[in-house]
Amino acid sequence: MFLVKRREFLKKLGLSAAALSSSRLLNPLFSFATDPSTLGGKNLILLNLAGGFDSFAAFPYLLDPNVSNQADGFVQYLNTNRPATFVLPRANLLDASSHSYLLNSYLGFAPAFAPLEPIWQANKIRLNQSIGIIGDLSGSHNYCENCYSFGDPNFVGGVSRGWYARLIELLNLTDHQAYGFGTFSRIDFVTSDPQKAPVAGMRTEDLTWDDPIGGSRSAINLETSRALLEAATISTSADAKLKAALSKGYDTVEFMTQVNTDTGPGKPLALVGSYPAGSIGDTCKSIARLISFLENEPNPKNRAFYAYEGGFDTHGNQGGADRTSGVVSGALHNHLSNVALAIKALVDDLQNRGVWEKTVIILFSEFSRTAKQNGGAGTDHGAASTHLVMGGPVNGGVYGQAPTRADLMAKNCYPARLDFQNEFAAAVRWFAGAGVDEQIFPPGTYVLDPGLYGGLISA
């Protein structure tokens, strides 16, 4: 593959700023931050299952831990009010063997999460239930997403950048230390210094050159970048900002191409995981490629990844279990299956590279779904959710209070009893050291739960 050498590219820069003022090259689809810093080689992976992930369906309750008479419990309430969307047939409610993977006496994995069972058995998966935004039942995408992005429900007028962006700036995370995948205009990635922003949008899997016209948006823009870099005649001189932006865009293309080459089939850093097709598979595969490549460098540094996976706003035709056979199908099941397969493949590669013991992965969503299905065989916006945290340093199990029938009957969802900041703060403390989390999530801005904050991740 032909690549213009960087010094040759810089000599050719002379195109006017006006000619490129509207170009996406000023905002590369994937970028890094900029200056050497933290050592350690830890991996913090944040996966936002955006839209309102249905944790009732993903982690079905088999029994109600709050009552002795199951007919009066919330499990029976869910099965009565979700005839098409709850994953367990009513007749087999207490028979977990063929319908989910039993996690404890009352909670299970949906069949879609079967690939993750070995990680659960190794006690490296934690489910934090009834977690979310304390006191909020709004079900507002905009408000709840902003709460999670800013890391503070009182963000209005008080915080200008997302907590992930603030972490990047506070730690001065460098080239090849901070990454973003998803909607690149999100506040999660907007830093005060654009050169430190991990601009989201491009994955290593988007480097497809065979069919640039029919390929992804990223591939088309990268082809445009290459055409610019190879331009022979440039008549006017560019300003310093334009040169820096184009230079960084070129470096991004060159680096990602090298990552793909060195982690490809037959190479010493080749991946071993079996990734599903689609967005989540490409994202997890890209993370695995980057970690495999960067871990091969001397003195590997800490690395943070934030990925945005949409498609969980399941208002209609959500799918579920056949009440007779127990067979689960439908859009949500298929999406969850791809998530589980992608994560399992990523874990396989992390274990193969010997970095699983220094990796923490958090799956979260801005809220869960309602206890009752709607008229379109889907579910609407809820409140608290169940988050999944996994990794070599994670202390596995189930934490937090299960919802009650009274919660579901009164609110059609269940309120948060664990503040979500506990989870992120614990991860930041593990990743960056004691005290850093308090600068990102100041004490007093959330309800501290010592068991969650202190017991989630081992040092």
Question: What pLDDT does 109 receive?
Answer: 87
First to last CA, the chain: 44
Q: Give the span between the Cα atoms of 366 and 171, in whole angstroms.
A: 26
Torsion over CA: 283, 289, 292, 297 (sign): negative
Euclidean distance between CA atoms 162 and 150, whole angstroms:
4
Alpha helices in 363-402 (DSSP H): none
- pLDDT, residue 70, reads 78
The Cβ of residue 225 has, within 10 Å, a number of other Cβ atoms equal to 20
Token code pair at residue 71: 């007919």
> Under DSSP, is residue 247 helix (H, G, I), strand (E, B) or coil?
helix
Burial class (CB within 10 angstroms; exposed 0-12, middle 13-18, buried 19+) of 295 = middle
Eight-state DSSP code of residue 219: H
The token pair at 74 is 């919330």
| Whole-structure pTM value | 0.84
The amino acid at 131: I
C-alpha triplet 162, 202, 270: angle, nearest 5°? 115
Q: What are 273's two structure tokens? A: 């995981």
SS3 content of the chain, % helix, strand, coil (to 5): 40, 15, 45
Residue 16 is predicted with a pLDDT of: 42
CA-CA-CA-CA dihedral for 141, 144, 150, 151, to nearest 10? -150
Q: What is the pLDDT along the chain (459 residues), one digit of tens a residue?
A: 334 444 444 444 444 444 444 443 444 434 444 333 444 699 999 999 999 999 998 988 877 888 877 778 888 888 788 876 665 544 444 444 445 567 877 888 888 898 998 999 999 999 999 999 999 988 899 899 989 999 988 776 556 788 998 898 899 886 678 888 876 556 787 777 655 655 444 455 554 433 333 444 445 455 555 555 454 344 445 445 555 555 556 666 677 778 878 888 888 899 999 999 999 998 999 899 999 998 988 888 899 999 989 999 999 999 877 766 667 788 999 999 999 999 999 999 999 999 999 999 999 999 999 999 999 989 999 999 999 999 999 999 999 999 889 989 888 999 999 999 999 999 999 999 999 999 999 999 999 999 999 999 998
Q: What is the dihedral of CA 318, 62, 50, 420, to 10 degrees?
A: 160
The C-alpha atoms of residue 109 and residue 91 are separated, in whole angstroms, by: 18
- The secondary structure of 427-439 as a DSSP string is HHHHHH-TTHHHH
